[in-house]
Amino acid sequence: MNYLLPLAFASILLAAASVQAGTLTIPVGQQASSQQISLPQRGASISAVNQQHGEPVTRHAAIGEPPISRWDYAEFSVYFEHDKVVHSVRQHRTPTGN
């Protein structure tokens, strides 16, 4: 009776070992378009972003303390603390034709 539990466990391990997993490939960097857009870097001023990228599609008012605001462009968004960039992110695009 003492050998039944180890035998049952061994058969579960053998069954699990015989299962083959498929390979999931996730392409790195596909969210970026073929034309690489230079995102505003941390510490850049609002005026530098405006000068380099022009007027944003949408400006979101500052909220919180410290005040954080967001500018949305067609391909990316820029987050500001006061008048300095704290983060820039590309807009997520769903692949088409797949």
Query: Looking at residues 36-44, what average pLDDT do you find?
Result: 91
Cis peptide leading into residue 95 (ω within 30°)? no
Cβ–Cβ under 8 Å, residues 78 and 91: no
- Residue 92 maps to a domain: yes
Is residue 19 a part of any domain in this protein? no
The pLDDT value recorded for residue 93 is 75
- pTM check: above 0.85: no
Between 96 and 67, name the one with better pLDDT: 67
Indicate if the pLDDT at residue 64 is higher than 80.
yes
Range of the domain at 52: 38-98
Specify if 17 maps to a domain: no
pLDDT at residue 92 in the model: 80
DSSP-assigned states of every residue in the chain: -TTHHHHHHHHHHHHHHH--PPPP---TTTTS-SS---PPPTT-BHHHHHHHH-S-SEEEEEETTTTEEEEE-SSEEEEEETTEEEEEEEPP---S--
**Is 1 contained in some domain?**
no
What's the rounded mean pLDDT across residues 6-23? 62
